[in-house]
Amino acid sequence: MSERRRLRRGALAGLALLLATAGVASGAGVTAAARKPAEPATAGGVAVAHGDFAATASGERSLLVTFADRPAGPEARRRLSGLGAVAPLVPEAGVWDLAPSRPASARAAVLGRARVSGAEWSLARRAADRPPPPAAPGPAPVLTDPLFTPASQWGLLERGSWSPALTTTGPRAPIAILDSGVDPTHEEWGGPQGPLVAPRSVLRGDDDASDHGESGHGTHVAGIAAAPANGVGIVGVAPGSFGTAPVIPVQIANRAGYSTDTTMIRGVRHAVLNGAKVINISAGGRGYSRAFQDTILWATQRGALIVASVGNQGQDINTLNYPAAYRRVLGVGAQCDGAVSFDCPRPYGVATFSTYNRSVDVIAPGVRVLSSVPRRVTERVVTPGYALKDGTSMAAPYVAGVASLVQGANGNALSPFQVLTQITNTATDIGRRGRDDTSGHGVVNPGAAVTLNAPEDDPGEVNDDVKWLAGVTRLGETGRPVEIDAAVDSVEDPDDVYAVRLARGERLRVTLTRRRGQFDLYVWNTGTRTVATGDVNLARHLVRYKRGSSRPGVAVYRAERAGIHYVNVFARRGAGPYTLRLVRGG
């Protein structure tokens, strides 16, 4: 039986009211028109073979519970009582961890509890470095000490606009590296003046974030982003330094490079609570998680931009990888160096292994990238402690370093929206004009991103749903309009929500204007907990709907009950600025 057939009689009556107020002829029509695209399907709890990452990690039975609000600890435990051990994951985002006593029935039981909006198994993720080629295309480059030369660090010195001057703009907030850890004994990272601060292993729950990875992935990633300019080895895009540009190493992956949603989420929280403005995650896998998306929204609200690798499936399944595909995450693909090879048929173009889909925002050097590794690593070593790697894993920290420089140049005062927009706006387009799924907005351009004026902020963010709102939008006196200028993006930021307080019988007129894109307008009644458009929620709470068109959208509503109502702008297609005009009694 379909969901619509299961609606209670009262809900059906509400849907009939919606049909009348929206001016749509049939129930099917209003449901199709008002409904937003569904979130990607979440995975169940069936573990699968090695290599399929839209599944739980072997042996892990951790259920991520997302509430529609943000309850305190005693209340969260009360709502989930009797289902297993409950622990905070990111309580600030309403995300909790449940170790279910009865895994087979846990998801259904949790979804039946009060104010639960999601229950998902913690999915497995893997590092996004590319396995080494079967045979080297030629002899290794002859490098000298220091390794900061065009031959070894081509991404900084051969083609890009990066220069040492970009690193001198002032102190920078911490940049966090969520990976297999960073080797604190390495010459780049060790010593009393090393840049590493607030280390954490979320695997063990201690402060030892040493790199235990078999390939030294975390140390390599950290070096690309922030290797100090200390006279040895290499230099990172945003060189880390003691006291003024710290690096937070967070160990989220096991020795084989596998992590889970749970370890990533815990890592994000640790980074944010320790002041990180930029968080790099060079890993991913298939499968959407509402808990992870809400964690990212919380991190964004706290001022942190997450940068992630889009994956290396460009020659294979080319699927969306998370976290790169989540909203508000800056997804990075891999750029080739100047040598022609199977992976790189066009010098300095997009590597053919680089995943191409809507998750790609920019590309950055991801082939033959030299960086630090623990001395025990021998694969593709150029000199002890330094090795070459390929993959979008290497491209992401390059962009994370640029994001850190952008923040530093602007007093660490920019919002994540401003930093992301600055990097995409200043990228050098190398594909079809405008953004495309292969190269995104183009090759990241450090010089332009750091030196040009940053864009204006999008006020009120994060305001993606009811649970994120910090207050009520003040309406003017009767007949006096209040105008809000903001922006939405069908990929990165599709929903903006505003709360307004109305007295019973009070009339509200809402006008939405925009220059491009298709933006829909919704008005939700008191008692609404989410602007998601499931049938039951539509029937119970949606009171006005105006589908986007070339003309301004206008919705007029007279409140049937006193209380807080919600105005929702949704980007069904495209992106850009809009103006929302609210008039009480207009």
Question: Can you give the CATH number for the domain in which 554 is found?
Answer: 2.60.120.380
Report d(CA 351, CA 355) in Å as an integer. Answer: 9
User: Per-residue DSSP letters for 334-362?
Assistant: EEP-SS--SS-SSTTSB-TTS--STT--E
Whether residues 480 and 548 share a domain: the answer is yes
Kindly report each contact of residues 484-487 with a partner whose C-beta sits within 8 Å and lies 24 or more positions away, as own/partner.
Answer: 484/459, 484/460, 484/579, 484/580, 484/581, 484/582, 485/459, 485/577, 485/578, 485/579, 486/458, 486/459, 486/460, 486/569, 486/577, 486/578, 486/580, 487/458, 487/575, 487/576, 487/577, 487/578
Average pLDDT, the chain: 87
Indicate if the pLDDT at residue 86 is higher than 70.
yes
Full domain range(s) for residue 246:
145-451
ω into residue 95 within 30 of 0, thus cis? no
- The DSSP code for 440 is B
Q: Does residue 412 sit in the same domain as residue 465?
A: no
387 and 431 both lie in a single domain = yes
**180/495 Cα distance (integer angstroms):** 34
- Which phi and psi (to 5°) does residue 439 adopt? -115, 5
Instruction: Please check whether residue 539 lies inside any domain of the structure.
Output: yes
| CA separation for the pair 7, 11 (Å, rounded) | 6
Establish if 83 belongs to a structural domain.
Answer: yes
pLDDT band at 505 (very low <50, low <70, confident <90, very high): very high
Instruction: Tell me the CATH number at 403.
Output: 3.40.50.200
Q: What is the pLDDT of residues 171-223, one digit of tens each?
A: 999 999 999 999 999 999 998 899 999 999 999 999 999 999 999 999 999 99
178 in Cβ contact with 264 (< 8 Å): yes
Q: Please spell the DSSP secondary structure of 178-201, one letter per residue.
A: EES---TTSTTT-STT--B-S-EE
Q: What is the pLDDT at residue 19?
A: 38
Per DSSP, the three-state class of 154 is helix
Q: Is residue 530 part of a domain?
A: yes
Distance (Å, whole) CA 440 – CA 365: 14
**What are the structure tokens assigned to 96, written together?**
């909790």
Confidence of residue 9 (pLDDT cuts 50, 70, 90): very low
Please report whether residue 207 resides in a domain: yes
**Which of 411, 431, 451 delimits the end of a domain?**
451
Predicted TM-score of the model (pTM): 0.88
Q: Are residues 470 and 445 in the same domain?
A: no
Regarding whether 81 and 19 lie in a shared domain, the answer is: no
DSSP for 449-468, please give it: HHHSPPPPP-TT-S-SSGGG
Counts of helices then strands in the chain (DSSP H, E): 12, 25
504 and 440 inside one domain? no
Q: Does residue 383 share a domain with residue 515?
A: no
What is the predicted pLDDT for the residue at 152?
67
Please report which confidence band the pLDDT of residue 436 belongs to, taking 50, 70 and 90 as the band edges: very high
Model confidence at 311, in pLDDT bands (50, 70, 90)? very high
Whether 543 shows a pLDDT value over 50: the answer reads yes
Residues 491-520: what's their mean pLDDT?
A: 95
Three-state SS letters, 46-82: CCCCCCCCCCECCCCCCEEEEECCCCCHHHHHHHCCC
In a domain, 431, yes or no: yes
Alpha helices, DSSP H, located in 62-136 = 73-79, 103-111
Do 382 and 443 contact (CB within 8 A), yes or no? no
Token pair, residue 422, equals 């600055």
575, 548: one domain = yes
Band of pLDDT at residue 138, cut at 50, 70 and 90? very low
Distance separating alpha carbons of residues 91 and 303, to the nearest angstrom: 17
3 state DSSP class of 447: helix
Query: Residue 135 has what pLDDT?
Result: 34
Distance CA 303, CA 450 (A): 18
pLDDT at 585: 84
Please report the pLDDT score of residue 174 as a whole number. Answer: 97
List pLDDT tens digits, range 411-429.
999 999 999 999 999 999 9
Structure tokens at 120: 């998902």
Banded pLDDT at 369 (limits 50, 70, 90) = very high
Task: Kindly provide the residue ranges of all beta strands, DSSP E only, lying in 135-287, ordered along the sequence.
Answer: 175-179, 200-201, 247-251, 258-260, 278-281, 283-284
Any domain includes 236: yes
SS3 8: coil
Residues 6+ apart with CB under 8 A from 145: 232, 233, 383
Backbone angles phi, psi at 228, to 5 degrees: -65, 150
Closest CA to 213 of 127, 322, 132: 127
Q: Read off the pLDDT band of 136 (50, 70, 90).
A: very low
Q: In sequence order, which residues have a C-beta less than 8 Å from that of residue 69 and are 6 or more positions away?
A: 94, 115, 467, 529
pLDDT of residue 7: 31
Whether pLDDT at 16 is above 50: no
What's the pLDDT score for residue 215? Answer: 95
**Model pLDDT, residue 347:** 93
pLDDT of the residue at 551: 86
Residue 153 lies in a domain: yes
Give the largest CA-CA distance in the chain. 79
Judgement on whether residues 324 and 184 belong to the same structural domain of the protein: yes
Q: Are residues 465 and 433 in the same domain?
A: no
**What pLDDT digit, counting tens, does each position of 31-52 carry?**
578 999 877 755 443 333 223 3
d(CA 503, CA 101): 47
Two structure tokens written together for 174: 């911490």
DSSP 221-237: HHHHHH---SSSS---S
Kindly state whether residues 532 and 445 are assigned to the same domain: no
The larger pLDDT score, comparing residue 166 to residue 8, is at 166
Give the whole-angstrom CA distance, residue 176 versus residue 267: 9
Residues 370 and 330 in one domain: yes
The rounded distance, in Å, linking the Cα atoms of 91 and 110 is 17
Residues classed as catalytic: 179, 217, 393
Secondary-structure breakdown of the chain: helix, strand, coil percentages, each rounded to the nearest 5: 20, 25, 50
Q: What is the CA radius of gyration of the chain?
A: 25
* 355 belongs to a structural domain: yes
First to last CA, the chain: 44
Rounded average pLDDT over 500-522? 95
Q: Taking 80 as the threshold, does the pLDDT of residue 21 lie above it?
A: no
Number of domains in the chain: 3
Out of 399, 418, 451, a domain closes at 451
Residues 90-99 have a mean pLDDT of 96
Q: Which of 224, 301, 210, 306 is nearest to 265 (CA)?
A: 306
Percent of the chain whose pLDDT exceeds 90: 76
pLDDT score for 4: 27
Phi, psi of 347 (to 5 degrees): -55, 135
